[in-house]
Amino acid sequence: MKVSNFAEVINGYTFRGAIEIAENRDILVLQAKDITQGENVTKIEKLTPISFRGTRTASFLQKDDVLIVSRGMGVGSFRSAIFSLDAPNIIASSSLLILRIKNKEVLPEYISLYFNSIEGQNKILETVAGSYIRAISRKKFEEEIKIPIPQLETQHSLIKLNQNIKQQEKIYDRKKELKQEIINATITNLIKK
């Protein structure tokens, strides 16, 4: 299914100059640097506060928007994440592409998972322009990329599998930390004797 058949594709907002931090926190800006592959955007603490006097724009984020980094150098550069907040004052910068899902048979989490896969990254690379820093062309992206959309049940299964793998990775990382803490404590106790 073509992207344009299940989502509205929106470019992030292009600011006229450099993004300047403001004290009053009118609006928060979500940039490519704030996107971690496969991690939902759930916190606003690290987002850049600005004073925004721009015109009306569709670049203000909505809950369950799929975000894709729109510039990169190769496979893995075009990270994807889900905007999981219900906060009307966050705007995506031009370094991001927003997919607003309009088909109830397509889950945002599945789309993000797909675009983070090697298959999805390769599909994106087929539509980018530029020789060194490549950029996604919104028009090509929405019209030329076709994504396999399985049944809802299969989408849910893939999402659960991914969540399970991430949970196992967290447990494994914690296990490594605990082992190192045991070694450190043992050495510290030996030195004290």
* pTM of the predicted structure, to 2 decimals: 0.83
**Phi/psi of residue 179, nearest 5 degrees:** -60, -45
Evaluate the CA torsion angle 5, 6, 11, 13 in order and state its sign.
Answer: positive
Q: What is the mean pLDDT of each run of 10 residues along the chain (193 residues)?
A: 93 77 76 88 84 78 94 86 89 93 95 95 88 86 93 95 92 94 92 81
